[in-house]
Amino acid sequence: MIIIVTFVIALVFFYFYNTRKFNYWADKGVKHDKPVILFGNNAKNFLMKQSRSQAMEEIYWKYPKERVIGFYRSSTPELILRDPELIKQVLISKFTYFYSRGFHPYPKVVEPLMRNLYVVEGDLWKMLRQTMTPAFTSTKLKAMFPLIVETAEKLQARTINAVKSAAIIDAKDLMSRYSIDIIGCCGFGLDPDSLNNEDSEFNKLSKEIFNIGFKEFAVGVLKSMFPELAQNLKYFGRFEKKGLNLMKQIQDSKGNKPSGRGDFVDLLLEFKQKGPIEIESLEKSLPNGIPEKVTFEFDDVLVAAQTYLFFIAGYKTTSSASSYTLHQLAFNPEIQKKVQKEIDEVLARHNMKLSYYAVKEMTYLEWVFKEGMRFFPSSGRLMRVCTRQFTFDDINLTIDPGVRAIVPIQALHMDPKYWDRPKEFRPERFHPDEFTDIQKAVYLPFGDGPRNCVGYRLGLMQSLAGLAAVLSQFTVEPAPESVRFPEVDLTSDVVQSPKGGKLPLIFKRRT
């Protein structure tokens, strides 16, 4: 009898605990779907029937006349933003209220590999952002561009050899290997040779990291449903040791001190040598309102975590964007001919050699790449967490700390309200005379504001160089198994992936 009573009490407690916030949006007059116990409005995602971006898209289109929509991810209130002005406030003008990404409700319990710039919050994020930004200036980019060109030439050679034996190539795999080699040479001062060696350590690690199994998916669901109870579960536990060891090997190869190459790891090791770094706090203020001074030190874990971030962010996002661009060009042959004509003419002016300045002249190629990222942005959504009570004056809505603000990028990129014939692949929409201010506000493949992608310029230039290298030598066509608009992998979260992880295309050598 005692067991039954205890069980009933536990069920009642769980019910009231899980539903305690279910009146949040109703009390504020924000339209939303009725939440259900355990799932909130997110049942399809939790049950692996939708990706998180698809869940945001569905609710976005369900309420086309609303500027904001309420949503519950389990018991956590989220606010989906449909209005460009409100998005601008969250990402830029009112950033001090929304500097948190909210991956960790308990920031003191963060697994080692997650102590990186993308995930961490507050003052630690600010220190990392300030120290890492100098690694991605235009001057640095120009200096490393010969390495990008060298890798792009290896990409050409690898593709030529592959076409000799088989015309159908997985563009996703090809551009992934290219991205890994770029990261190795530009970021770590190493040559992973992933283009030619499928068994390279970097290639194996990249496949392992993004091979999201049921365990990793379940950890993500549990952290959403029961953040207090699941705070010690590790998302990257399966390969934490291997990842830390590989990042340590990179540092050891440099003797744990800057090598003088000026690559990304050199920069981190320089700051590690400098000792304490002082910044003005984002989170703490003196009684007079002046920010407090706080100090941090780069320890081995912080260096390893930033190295790891550089690897996974640079590898996954750029390879996804460039391979999907090739995929769309295969289905749009007239656009492909036009961009090849531009590449041929620019290379002819530069002695048939890729260079920083040659790629900068390939304007139409850049439009093509941007259109590819409009169709299939690497990140289908952005998330920010309100850190202190904030009022959206335009709509007279006040939200509380802990509420998540969601920017549904994929939906915004395909909304006919902002884009003429959005389902048509048309690079000319990025011509300066046509690309409007409101389109700039909703085109967010690299994010916006202080927490935008710190390495977006490197990602853009390496992608354009890789595309130019391929398209100058090859024409791509759909393979028999190619799908015009690939479905999204339902387990993909931060970075979207095509279902099955492949984009097969026919590569034909240009005469």
Euclidean distance between CA atoms 162 and 497, whole angstroms: 24
- Interstrand relation of 474-478 and 397-399 (parallel, antiparallel or unpaired): unpaired
**Burial (CB count <10 Å: 0-12, 13-18, 19+), residue 65:** exposed
For residues 383 and 489, the model is more confident at 383
SS3 assignment, position 490: coil
Least confident of 112-126, 168-182, 235-249, 266-280: 235-249
Q: Which amino acid is at 314?
A: G
Domain count within the chain: 1
Q: Which amino acid is at 246?
A: L
Residue 291's H or E segment, with its range, is: strand 291-296
- Both tokens assigned to 188: 């770590």
Residues 504 and 170: beta-carbon distance below 8 Å: yes
Instruction: Look at residue 221 in the predicted model and tell me its pLDDT.
Output: 64
pLDDT for residue 250 is more than 90: no
Residues 145 and 159: beta-carbon distance below 8 Å: no
Q: pLDDT tens, 450-496?
A: 999 888 898 999 999 999 999 999 999 999 999 998 888 887 777 88
Least confident of 33-47, 96-110, 283-297, 303-317: 96-110
**What is the DSSP code string of 463-481?**
HHHHHHHHHTTEEEEE-TT
User: Residues with Cβ < 8 Å from 295, sequence gap 6 or more?
Assistant: 276, 277, 278, 279
Work out whether the CA dihedral 487, 335, 330, 494 comes out positive or negative: negative
Instruction: Look at residue 222 in the predicted model and tell me its pLDDT.
Output: 64
Euclidean distance between CA atoms 323 and 342, whole angstroms: 20
**Which domain covers residue 261, as residue numbers?**
2-509
CATH number of the domain at 19, please: 1.10.630.10
Least confident of 213-227, 359-373, 445-459, 487-501: 213-227
What single DSSP character describes residue 90?
I
pLDDT for residue 200 is more than 80: no
Q: pLDDT tens, 324-339?
A: 999 999 999 999 999 9
pLDDT cut 70: percent of the chain above it? 89
Model-level pTM greater than 0.95? Answer: no
- Both tokens assigned to 383: 């998330």
Instruction: Look at residue 65 in the predicted model and tell me its pLDDT.
Output: 94
